[in-house]
């Protein structure tokens, strides 16, 4: 039997998974742009730094490099980990939605969704993983409430 109702918990789960994917993918993208900006400014300032070096002044891009070095999260060292973690989060979210649409069936999707989310938390690191904890809890609650409808009245 197919369930066509959308519960607030299911909407929260989808929103939390989407936010988790954004928080996992955004730092490597931003740090890539900052690294590119640092390289471009390094090339543009190179002739002037050479002339300032000849004059005895030391000129470098310390402010931009300190910003880049201070903002480096764990996932920017391996952007592939962030992409794989975002993929796992997305597939886990899709499995959760499929499991909620078929309350009597979809036992495999119901079991795989929290496992994929837990693997994504491990791959992304603890800081971005904290954002996905509510979705992880809702995926575990999906074992007891397959449609994520927490009302106790009988239809």
Query: Tens of pLDDT along the chain (155 residues)?
Result: 556 667 888 888 999 999 999 999 888 888 888 778 877 877 777 777 667 666 666 555 455 556 555 555 544 467 888 899 999 999 999 998 888 888 777 888 889 999 999 999 998 888 888 999 999 999 998 888 887 776 655 55
User: What three-state secondary structure class fits 56?
Assistant: coil
- What percent of the chain shows pLDDT beyond 90? 28
Q: Are 35 and 72 in contact (CB under 8 A)?
A: no
Q: Are 99 and 109 in contact (CB under 8 A)?
A: yes
**Residue in this structure with the two tokens 């994520």, named with its chain if needed:** 148
CA distance 120 to 129: 8
Tell me the whole-structure pTM to 2 decimals: 0.73
Q: Which of 110, 115, 117, 85 is nearest to 95 (CA)?
A: 110
- What percent of the chain is helix, strand and coil (3-state, nearest 5)? 75, 0, 25
Would you state the structure tokens that stand for residue 94, as one six-digit string?
Answer: 């899709």
Tens-digit pLDDT profile for residues 87-107? 999 999 999 888 888 877 788
Q: Are 121 and 13 in contact (CB under 8 A)?
A: no
């Amino acid at each position: 039997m197919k369930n066509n109702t959308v519960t607030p918990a299911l909407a929260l789960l989808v929103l939390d998974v989407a936010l988790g994917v954004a928080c996992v993918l955004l730092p490597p993208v931003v740090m890539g742009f900052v690294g590119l900006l640092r390289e471009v400014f390094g090339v543009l300032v190179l002739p002037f730094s050479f002339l300032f070096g000849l004059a005895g002044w030391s000129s470098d891009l310390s402010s931009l490099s300190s910003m880049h070095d201070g903002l480096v999260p764990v996932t920017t060292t391996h952007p592939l980990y962030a992409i794989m973690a975002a993929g796992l989060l997305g597939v886990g979210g899709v499995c959760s939605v499929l499991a909620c649409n078929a309350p009597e069936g979809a036992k495999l999707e119901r079991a795989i969704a929290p496992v994929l989310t837990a693997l994504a938390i491990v791959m992304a690191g603890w800081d971005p993983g904290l954002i996905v904890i509510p979705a992880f809890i809702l995926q575990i609650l999906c074992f007891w409430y397959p449609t994520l409808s927490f009302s106790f009245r009988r239809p």
